[in-house]
Structure 1
Amino acid sequence: MASHVTENPKEGAEIHHGSSECKKHLIQILKENSLPTGLLPFGDDDVLELGYNRKVGYLWLNQKKKRKHFFPKIGRWIEYDEKVTAYLESHRMRRISGVSAKEFMLTLGAGEMYVDDPVEGKVHVKTNIGLSRVFPASAFQIDEEEK
């Protein structure tokens, strides 16, 4: 029988603390992966820790409390748990946990999302149960004055 060795995705990661420091690094990480910079919005004092392992693409975000964010361009509330995790690669977030939205009166977790190339295209979001939606990438982009 084969044994599986699971690497700790946090091992060797860069870790940041404090909301302003975390926000700056999160925007940089999303840009590096050709993802809209507003996919994971948070308030000025919400974030406790941001970690990113570039080798495996593992990202985690620890917040003080669960929060909701309204994206006006798509008319939807998205809920972010105290801990949000995902694996990032170019134009894609997969194995997402801690992000959900109401759809057909059900709360559905986002499992994966990818962005058409270039970033100005569409964001395709697939839930953990296989439902998917397509949104304009501009709905998840941070305006320059918000940075």
Structure 2
Amino acid sequence: MASHVTENPKEGAEIHHGSSECKKHLIQILKENSLPTGLLPFGDDDVLELGYNRKVGYLWLNQKKKRKHFFPKIGRWIEYDEKVTAYLESHRMRRISGVSAKEFMLTLGAGEMYVDDPVEGKVHVKTNIGLSRVFPASAFQIDEEEEK
């Protein structure tokens, strides 16, 4: 059986502008999909637009500039491009673009990510070339104060 492919995944999406509005909605979207709320961190004035099409699970995030974020619990810098996109479903992000990390002196893009059930488990990240790593989900969780 063939699946229906949406020509424009942005069609019918909810779109938000401004960092505080985008941050609030991003946290809500990640929670709805049982994903750690700190997976896509950004600064207070960095985000220009956040869009999410609930029907197909397409998420996009436009930032002013490329930025790096250090996750101290895993000891890694993750780089986020000006545009980050992914398809979300429960406990999973697929077809991720705009997110990369250095591994073995190579910059590797994250292609897919899933979380064990419950969210307190492990985050499994698979690169576009098939390498994978497992991290504690708590490394990507933001606390209640940061969510506000």
Residue 7 of structure 1, CA deviation? 2.0
Question: Which aligned runs of 4 or more in structure 1 are off by greater than 6 angstroms?
Answer: 1-5
Unaligned runs of 5+ in 1: none
* Post-superposition offset of 1:43: 0.2
Partner residue, 1:145? 146
- How many residue pairs match? The answer is 147
Give the whole-Å Cα distance in 2 for the aligned partners of 1:3 and 1:95: 16
| Cα 1:73/1:14, change in 2 over 3 Å | same
Bigger shift: residues 88-97 or 6-15:
6-15
TM-score computed with the length of structure 2 as normaliser = 0.95
Change (3 A) 1:18 1:132: same
1:8 CA displacement? 0.5
Sort the Cα spacing of 1:53 and 1:104 in 2 relative to 1 into closer, same or farther, 3 A. Answer: same
* Partner-residue secondary structure (3-state), 2:10: coil
Give TM-score, length-normalised by structure 1.
Answer: 0.95
Cα 1:97–1:2, aligned 2, differ >3 Å: closer, same or farther?
closer
Q: Tell me how far 1:146 sits from its aligned partner.
A: 5.3
- C-alpha contact 2:58 2:86 (8 A) present in aligned 1: yes
Report the aligned-residue RMSD. 2.1
> Helix, strand or coil: the match of 1:15?
strand
CA deviation string 1:13-44 (max 9, x = no partner): 00000000000000000000000000000000
Structure 2 counterpart SS, 1:44: coil
Structure 2 spans left out of the alignment, 5+ residues = none
CA deviation after TM superposition for structure 1 residue 123, in Å = 0.1
- Mark the CA change 1:61 to 1:145 in structure 2 (over 3 Å): closer, same or farther: closer
- CA distance in 1 between partners of 2:146 and 2:90 (Å): 25
Deviations 1:89-122 (A, max 9, x none): 0000000000000000000000000000000000
CA distance in 1, matches of 2:3, 2:89: 27
